[in-house]
Amino acid sequence: MPLYETVVIARSEITQAQAEAVADAATAIIEAGGGAVKKREYWGLRALSYRIKKNRKGHYMLLGLDAASPAVLEMERQLTLNEDVLRFLTVRVEEISEEPSAILSRKSDDRERAFRGPKPAGRFESGRKRGFDDREEFRARDEFRADRDDFSAEEEV
């Protein structure tokens, strides 16, 4: 049978258990059609690149499928009807790798390098904290006024 990978994005308002229930329903449809789910990953609640149906985040899930085409089409039809599913994408692949996907392996890399040292000073900051009147534009304004006052004092003499 052909191999497929499906990524499903569910609404952010539902819980993780409800998102897993969406994946369970897709798995049941595939198994009823004589196929099998070889890989299943929950990628977590992630930010979307753009708003979809007024949602800014979504629960991402990856399913590695070994199923016939009619079973995959039925699963996609059911995902289209489900109100909790924002988007899904099914792609035919040559093989389903057993190792974690790039998304999950990247998450573990982020956990390893958590603290990178103190934050350096910004472009216009020396690192010390300034008060409200100590900002650059206020200092420039005050220096301009001081120069103007010196010039007017010279004229009076």
44: left (phi over 0), alpha (psi -120 to 50) or beta: left
According to the model, what pLDDT value does residue 37 have?
93
**Which residue shows structure tokens 């890399």?**
109
Q: What is the mean pLDDT of residues 119-140?
A: 59
- pLDDT tens digits along 33-81: 999 999 999 998 999 999 998 999 999 999 999 999 999 999 999 999 9
Q: Binning pLDDT at 50, 70 and 90, where does residue 121 land?
A: low
According to the model, what pLDDT value does residue 42 have?
92
pLDDT over threshold 60, residue 126: no
According to the model, what pLDDT value does residue 6 have?
95
pLDDT: which is higher, 113 or 86: 86
SS3 state at 62: strand
According to the model, what pLDDT value does residue 98 have?
84
CA 45 to CA 120: how far, in whole Å? 31
Q: Binning pLDDT at 50, 70 and 90, where does residue 1 land?
A: confident
127: left (phi over 0), alpha (psi -120 to 50) or beta: left
Q: What is the mean pLDDT of residues 10-38?
A: 93
* CATH T-level topology, domain 3-96: Alpha-Beta Plaits (3.30.70)
